Chains A and B, each alone.
Chain A
C-alpha cells in the first residue's frame, strides 16, 4: 500500500469536507477543510482512510457507487 505523504488543511467550499489526492509518485495527500471543525475533520480523515485502505484510487471507479457505500 503506498504511503500517505501528507495531510494538509486548506480553506475549501463549505460543502466539501475534504479530498484525497493521488500523487504522481503513487503516494496520497489527504486535504481537509480548514473552515470546518476538528470533529468534522477527524470524521473526514477516517472517511479518506477507508478510501485509501480499500485501494479506491487504483481502478476505474464509479464515484457515485463509491460515495454511496462509504456514506451509508
Chain B
C-alpha cells in the first residue's frame, strides 16, 4: 500500500471528510486532499508529519515503516520502523527526552550517539533549568 492510500484509509477509518482534513491542514479546499489521496499530488516529507498529526497516527505508519495506525504504536521496538540512531537504547532515551514534558528536547546528534551522551545531555538540561538558563 502506498502513502496516499494509507492517508485515505486512515481518514476513512476515523470517519473524517476531505473537507475536515483540508481545513485542519490549512488547505483552501478539499480538492488538494483529493489529489493527494489519488496519488496525483505528491506531498513533502514535512507535510507527512502534519498529516500524521491530523490523522492521529505516526509518520512511520503513513510511510509504511510501522504496522499499526494508532499514534502511540510507533514504538521504537517495531521492527518495521526505520531508525535514525544506530543504537536502539540511544533512540529510546532520545524519545524519552522528547516525550518528557519537563525536559522536552529534540537533539541534533550523530547517528552513532551513545546512550551515555544522551544521559549527559539530560543532566545538563536539568542543571540549566535549575539555574534558570532555559
B107 touches A29 (CB 8 A): no
B108 touches A44 (CB 8 A): yes
A21 touches B134 (CB 8 A): yes
Q: Kindly supply a per-residue 1/0 record for chain B positions 83-109, scoring 1 wherever the CB is within 8 Å of any chain A CB and 0 otherwise.
A: 111000001001100110001111111
Interface range, B side: 35 or more
B49 touches A13 (CB 8 A): no
Residue on A with the closest CB to B48? A69
Binding site for A on B (CB under 8 A): 45-46, 48-50, 52-53, 58-60, 63, 65-66, 71-72, 74, 76, 81-85, 91, 94-95, 98-99, 103-110, 112-114, 117, 120-121, 124-125, 128, 133-134
A15 touches B98 (CB 8 A): no
Selected from B81, B98, B108, B120, the residue in CB contact (under 8 A) with A17 is: B108
Nearest CB on B from A47, distance (A): 5
Interface size in chain A (residues, C-beta < 8 A): 39
Binding site for B on A (CB under 8 A): 6, 8, 10, 12-13, 15-23, 29, 31, 44, 47-48, 50-51, 54-69, 71-72
Nearest CB on B from A55, distance (A): 8
